[in-house]
Amino acid sequence: MSVAIITKDEEANLPRLLDSLEPLQPAEVVVVDSGSTDSTVAIARDHGAQVIETDWPGHVEQKNRALAACHQPWILSLDADEPISPELAANIRNLLEKQDQDQKAGYEVSRLTWYLGDWLRHVWYPEWRLRLVKNGAAQWTGHNPHDRLEVDGPTGRLSGDIHHYSYADIDDHFRRSIDYARIGAEALAARGKPFRWHKMIFSPLARFIRLMIFRQGWRDGWRGWIIAWSSMFSAFLKYAFLYEIERGRRNSGGNFGTGTKPTPTSDKNNG
């Protein structure tokens, strides 16, 4: 099995992830790094990973680069802030040792997020993500920053969690929410999607209702409320940024964008 990881300045997270992979004993760990200025690259090499240093073309493109660099029959795709639980490691090993494991082209895994000192058991859980795939049968798709892994063939599910250490604190959470809203707006503009006032009003409300009522975010206490409001805020900002981009294009008579270079993080819980 290969493990594919993308990084930039992940010295705080990467050791925890690489240590969690030890029970799996993967034949290959591929780290695609986009210009880390901390000790990320050294940490990866110290753990025996193959490091590819390159530019940052976007979430989807970078994760596909990591997939393409893997050579083993199966690939586990993770972000630097996503160590795996011992239960998941054991279940992956058992799966790959079975004679009939090749009947599926990929497997979804549930992601459990650590937020403000505790695990979120409702608002963002379970989050089923396709992460274990056959080499050559999968690719990352979607529109930045909302990437998703897709596979050609039937899929199954594995028990055990990916432990997601998503945000360091409230400041980190809201800064990233703003960044992702801006990236989302630029992606909409690049695809020719026009600003619609009703999207700026009803999309945030839909997010809040989904997280607080349908996902029972209220059961996570104030942390659930914070997440629901931040998701609502991010949705509002995405269309506000799109409005700004459209006005800039009209005023300049040409292309207009914020020019923000995103931090290569995971497919976050940003709606």
**pLDDT tens, 78-105?**
999 999 999 999 999 999 888 565 689 9
Question: pTM of the full predicted structure?
Answer: 0.81
Strand bridging mode 106-115 / 127-134: antiparallel
d(CA 71, CA 53): 18
Confidence at residue 256, expressed as pLDDT on a 0 to 100 scale: 45
C-alpha radius of gyration, the chain, whole number: 19
Which tokens hold the place of 34? 């986009």
Average pLDDT over residues 27-48: 97
DSSP letters spanning 17-62? HHHHTTTT--SEEEEEES---SSHHHHHHHTT-EEEE-----HHHH
Residue 249 — very low, low, confident or very high, per pLDDT cuts 50/70/90?
confident
List C-alpha distances in Å: 44 to 14, 31, 40, 76, 265: 8, 7, 6, 16, 16
Confidence at residue 168, expressed as pLDDT on a 0 to 100 scale: 87
Sequence ranges of the domains in the chain: 170-252
Confidence at residue 259, expressed as pLDDT on a 0 to 100 scale: 45
